[in-house]
Amino acid sequence: MSDTAEDLVRTPPTLEDYLHLRAASGLAPKSAEQGEGALVGSWRWSVVQREGRAVAMGRVIGDGGWYFHIADMATLPEHQGRGLGRRVLADLLAQIDEAAPAEPYVTLMADAPGRRLYKSMGFVETAPESLGMRLAH
């Protein structure tokens, strides 16, 4: 294997890589404490590594029974446009298929840059009468 090969692993990135990937890809920056919680509290991970560093990632949070939410889909800008996000998402969906009971409910929040990918992988908009909400602090 060459030193520029990309490997797909199902383990979390390092805290440093997680925080860097989020910020560099345009996701909201998080603190080290928040990052540590994400690393240990996720149901599954899919990470593309290049030269030992994470360059793309995604994770699944959920109950392991019926509800699964895909989060933190991120690819470093210099690695975008090469299918790494598709590779990560396909692996996360495969992990859900492998481990979840029949008919899992899989959700994600589709920011504008990822919508084309998500639609191409079978995601559809939820009911128009539904509205995503968050607790404001």
Residue 62: burial class (beta carbons within 10 Å; 0-12, 13-18, 19+): buried
Q: 19 near 32, Cβ under 8 Å?
A: yes
- The candidate with the shortest Cα–Cα distance to 30, out of 52, 15, 43, 45, is 15
- What span, in angstroms and rounded, lies between the C-alpha atoms of 137 and 107? 24
Q: 48 near 78, Cβ under 8 Å?
A: no
User: Would you say residue 23 has pLDDT above 80?
Assistant: yes
Using 50, 70 and 90 to split pLDDT, how confident is the model at 130? confident
Q: Lowest mean pLDDT: which of 13-17, 66-70, 112-116, 133-137?
A: 133-137
Q: 61 near 69, Cβ under 8 Å?
A: yes
pTM, two decimal places: 0.91
pLDDT of residue 10: 98
Average of pLDDT values for 86-103?
96
User: Would you say residue 135 has pLDDT above 90?
Assistant: no
User: Would you say residue 106 has pLDDT above 90?
Assistant: yes
6-120: CATH, from 3.50.50.60, 3.30.420.40, 3.40.630.30, 3.90.180.10: 3.40.630.30
pLDDT of residue 1: 41
Domain boundaries, the chain: 6-120
